[in-house]
Amino acid sequence: MIGIRQVSKKRARVMRQEKALIQCLLRRCGGLCELCHKPPDWRGLSKDEIKSRAQGGDPLDPKNCRMVCGRCHSNRHGIKEV
């Protein structure tokens, strides 16, 4: 029988930090997209990093993250919507 793998202590700590960060960002944005200031579409809000990890950004820094709607997130990553 295959069981569920345990989460490492380090990964569990990062998951707790991410959860706290998202709660902080949701309070800050008030349920609206931080780019277009509109309510989210059916995809909801998601965390977006202003400066990517590859560019040296910290994914757990509230100053480097914002909550964006699905439309803005797609546009930010260059995905054209139909």
DSSP E strand stretches across 1-82: 45-49, 65-69
Q: Is residue 31 part of a domain?
A: yes
**pLDDT over 90 for what percent of the chain?**
83
Radius of gyration for the chain, computed over Cα atoms and rounded to the nearest angstrom:
15
Domain containing 28 — which CATH number? Answer: 3.40.1800
Q: Is residue 81 part of a domain?
A: no
Name the one residue in this structure whose structure tokens are 């560019």: 55
Residue 80: what pLDDT? 85
Task: Kindly state the tokens that stand for 21.
Answer: 């960060």
Q: Is residue 18 part of a domain?
A: yes
Q: Is residue 3 part of a domain?
A: no
Q: Is residue 24 part of a domain?
A: yes
Domain of residue 43: give its range.
9-76
Report the predicted TM-score, pTM, of the whole model to 2 decimal places.
Answer: 0.81
Q: Is residue 17 part of a domain?
A: yes
Distance, CA of 41 to chain centre: 16
pLDDT tens digits along 4-61: 889 999 999 999 999 999 999 999 999 999 999 999 989 999 999 999 999 999 999 9
pLDDT tens digits along 45-58: 999 999 999 999 99
CB proximity list for 17: less than 8 A, separation 6 or greater: 60
Q: How many domains does the chain have?
A: 1
The answer, yes or no, to whether residue 3 has pLDDT greater than 90, is: no
